[in-house]
Amino acid sequence: MKTLVLCLALGGVALAQQWEVGGGGGGAFHKNATVKNASRSGDAGFKIGPAFSAFATQNMYEHLSGELRYTFQLSDMKVSSGGAEATFDGQSHAIHYDLLIHAKGRSSAIRPYVIAGGGGKYYRGTGKESAVAPPNADLAILTKTSQFQPLIVFGGGVRVRVAEDVYFRIEARDYLSPIPKDIIAPVPGASMSRWVHAFTPMVSLSFGF
């Protein structure tokens, strides 16, 4: 029911504003959390992985747009310390609404912009569980489960018109979320810093209508 209401609202606005839809791909580079116990510390988070995104943009004003975006990141999880690394298959699904503040007006062929937004990120550990202790099991354990976390997005980019109603974008976002501690779980006696950043540069193509 909530979804239906949102669609209707967007549909209503669309009558008066220009829209873009598009998709793109890139990579996710993470600034991971620090995990430590009484005797040592390590890195806990995600490895570099590909990212894919789809979005719908509403050009609301001359210098302001709103964008609903879905981003899929295929990043394995890891806990590394002292040359040993535990890894585990993982992925995340982010859905967020961003505001894009453009430096130039709608009619410009090249429109730099900055991004700020928020949403949620659904993390999933998808690896194979084993009773055997993985490396760095005294710091954190990577787990086959899922967890939803709030998401803050910052970034910037530039949109280039490459043809009538066709745009090419280069942009970078920082997906900032609390680290999913059900999935990357510090063991009793260990503690972990709170946030994980996923810097995600992407290129995309969008179509206006």
Partner 1 sequence: MRLVCLRRASTHEMRSRLLRWTAAACIAYAFLIAGPAVAATFGTVVPLGGHTSDLALDERRGVVYVAHFTAKRIDVVSTVTRKSQAPITVDKQPASLALSPDGRYLVVTHLMAAEPGNNSVTVLDLDANTRQTYPFTSVPLGVAFTADGKAFIITTAQFIQFDPSTGTSAVLGDVAATVTLPPQPAPCEPRQFIRASLSASGDGTRVWGIADADGEGCEANESFVLFHYTPGAQVPLAASSWTASPPEGPRVIATDRTGAFATTGWSLFHHRFFEVAEWINSSGLFEIGGYAIDSARNKIYGQVAKKALMGTTIPGSINSADGPRLLVADSDNLTVREELKLQEHISGRAVIDSRGDVMYAVSQSGLMILPVGSLAAHHRLTASQEDILFRGNWCDRRSMTQEIEISNPGGGETPFRLSTTMPGVVLSATSGVTPARITVSIDSSVYRNTNGTAEGFINVNSDAAINVLPPIRVLVNNKEPDQRGTLFSVPGRLIDLQMDPVRNRFYVTRQDKNEVLVFDSSNFRQVATLRTATTPTNMAITRDNRYLIVGADNAQVANLYDLETLGFVRWIVFPAGHYPRSIAASNGSILAVSRLAGEVEDCSTAVIDRIDAANGFATPLSAMGVWKNCVDPNTALASSPAGGKILGAQPDGTVLLYDAQLDDFVAARRDLEKLQGAFGALSDEEFVIGGYIFNASLVPTQAFSGGMSETSGVISSRWLAMRTTGATAAGAGHVEHASTTDGATWSAARLAEAPILPDANVVGRTFTRTLAFTRDNSAYVLLSRSGLTVLPPDYDAEVGLPALERVVNAADFKPAVAPGGLITVFGQNMNPVNVGAQGTPLPTLLGDSCLTIDGQLVPLVFVSPGQINGQLPFGSSGTPSAVLHTPNGVSNALKFTVQGTAPSVFTVPVEGWADEVPSIVRAANNETVTLSNPVHFDDWLSIYVTGLGAVSPVVATGAAAPADPLAVANTRPEVTLGGIRLPVDYAGLAPGSVGVYQINVKVPFNDVPTGMQIPLTIKQGAYETTVSVRVVR
Q: Which is nearer to partner 1, 153 or 185 (CB)?
A: 185
Interface stretch with partner 1, choices 3-11, 31-39, 180-188, 191-199 (CB under 8 A):
180-188
Distance CA 78, CA 46 (A): 6
Q: Please state the closest distance from residue 141 (CB atom) to partner 1, in A.
A: 5
Q: Which is nearer to partner 1, 35 or 68 (CB)?
A: 35
| Residue 163 binds partner 1, judged by CB under 8 A | no
| Residue 165 binds partner 1, judged by CB under 8 A | no
Q: Looking only at residues 101 through 140 of this chain, which bind partner 1 when binding is defined by CB under 8 A?
A: 129-134, 137
Which residues are near partner 1 by CB under 8 A?
129-134, 137, 141-146, 182, 185, 187-188
